[in-house]
Amino acid sequence: MHQEKAAIIKNKKITDQCWRLQLCSKNIARQAQPGQFLHVKISSNSQKPFLRRPFAVHSIEKKDEFSILYKIRGEATKLMRELKKGDKIDTIGPLGAGFQPSVNVQKYVLVAGGIGLAPLFFLTKELIDNKKEVVLIYGARTKNELLCTKELSKVKIKPLLATDDGSQGIKGNANNLLNNYLAKNKKEKIEVFAAGPRMMLKETARICKKAGVNLEVSMDEIMACGVGVCLGCAVKTKNGYKLACKDGPVFKAEDIIWE
């Protein structure tokens, strides 16, 4: 865990709603594991937004550069659009427990919904670098909202795509694709990793449980400290409340009580 003022290399709009922020930090770029996150102080001289914001590490670009993806949602992300090359932002990271793929698995199936692609892109690259077989299932609302299509083809991944309006891939969502995939590949030893909206993850968990495959999910929770002291980001599990910032953000889906 480090705290440092990371310099901005690039801040680029990549779709209508999403941006990619590339930052320079040796410590974070070298230490981050897929699924871990950063806690970012967006404005250094104002109390708006008041708290830091957590972002999943999206990609390690070079030895000392990495990037995050953000979607314009509220004041904090609106402010982030204004960040320019050379600006510095205070970051704490890498934080939390990331994905833990098992060794003896034939296929790693990654299920991303929308901006949930951010941590799963990092995991995809890591698994491919380790010569693992990866299937990436990716759903978005519409073709124009699909993220990182170029970057995915660079790492030679052809994702199975779904869009709500059918403008690319199947008409439907990532869970529909996962359901079909698991039905067709019953004999393979598969492990699933998912990130996306809570309602999607809940359904992903149901599908995986029914198919008898292990699933890890990355949970988004509102957070204050990011390091396990405020106990604000509680996730209800079979073993009591756990913290998204410390015990997670990645959890075994079978442990989570979804409600």
Partner 1 sequence: MGVDLAVKIGKLKLKNPVMVSSGTFGCGQQYEELVDLKELGAIVTKTITLQKREGNKPPRIAETYAGMLNAIGLENEGLNYFCETTLKYLNSLKTPSIISVAGKDENDYCKLVKELDKLKVKAVELNISCPNVKSKKKYMFSQDAQATYKLVSRVRKLTKTTLIVKLSPNVTDIKEIAKAAEDAGAEAVSLVNTFLGIAIDVNSRKPKLGNITGGLSGPAIKPLALRMVYEAASVLKIPIIGQGGIMSPEDGLEFIIAGATAISIGTANFIEPQSAILIKNGIEKYLVKNKIKNIKLLRGTIKIS
Candidate list 197, 234, 238, 258; residue touching partner 1; CB under 8 A: 234
Closer by beta carbon to partner 1, 83 or else 155? 83
**Gap between the Cα atoms of 5 and 104, Å rounded:** 39
| Window of 11-19, 61-69, 99-107, 231-239 that interacts with partner 1 by CB under 8 A | 231-239
Task: Answer yes or no whether residue 224 interacts with partner 1 by CB under 8 A.
Answer: yes
Q: Of residues 116-175, which lie at the interface with partner 1 (CB under 8 A)? A: none
Q: Kindly state the number of chain residues that form the binding site for partner 1, as judged by CB under 8 A.
A: 30
| Window of 25-33, 161-169, 202-210, 235-243 that interacts with partner 1 by CB under 8 A | 235-243
Q: Of residues 35-74, which lie at the interface with partner 1 (CB under 8 A)? A: 41, 47-52
Q: Nearest to residue 40, comparing CAs of 13, 12, 14, 66?
A: 66
| Window of 22-30, 157-165, 202-210, 228-236 that interacts with partner 1 by CB under 8 A | 228-236
Q: Of residues 68-107, which lie at the interface with partner 1 (CB under 8 A)? A: 90, 92
Q: In the complex, what is the shortest distance from the CB of residue 95 to partner 1, in angstroms, rounded to a whole number?
A: 11
Closer by beta carbon to partner 1, 189 or else 238? 238
Q: In the complex, what is the shortest distance from the CB of residue 114 to partner 1, in angstroms, rounded to a whole number?
A: 19
Task: Answer yes or no whether residue 257 interacts with partner 1 by CB under 8 A.
Answer: no
Q: In the complex, what is the shortest distance from the CB of residue 50 to partner 1, in angstroms, rounded to a whole number?
A: 5
Q: Which two tokens stand for residue 175?
A: 């869970």
Closer by beta carbon to partner 1, 57 or else 225? 225
Q: Of residues 167-206, which lie at the interface with partner 1 (CB under 8 A)? A: none
SS3 sequence of the chain: CEEEEEEEEEEEECCCCEEEEEEECHHHHHHCCCCCEEEEECCCCCCCCCCCEEEECCEEEECCEEEEEEECCCHHHHHHCCCCCCCEEEEEEEECECCCCCCCCCEEEEEEEHHHHHHHHHHHHHHHHCCCEEEEEEEECCHHHCCCHHHHHHCCCCCEEEECCCCCCEECCHHHHHHHHHHHCCCCCEEEEEECCHHHHHHHHHHHHHHCCEEEEECCCCCCCCCCCCCCCEEEECCEEEECCCCCEEEEHHHECCC
Candidate list 5, 62, 236, 238; residue touching partner 1; CB under 8 A: 236
Q: Is the dihedral of CA 123, 127, 128, 129 positive or negative?
A: positive
Q: In the complex, what is the shortest distance from the CB of residue 7 to partner 1, in angstroms, rounded to a whole number?
A: 19
Q: In the complex, what is the shortest distance from the CB of residue 189 to partner 1, in angstroms, rounded to a whole number?
A: 34
Residues in contact with partner 1 by the rule CB under 8 A: 1-3, 41, 47-52, 90, 92, 221-236, 240-241
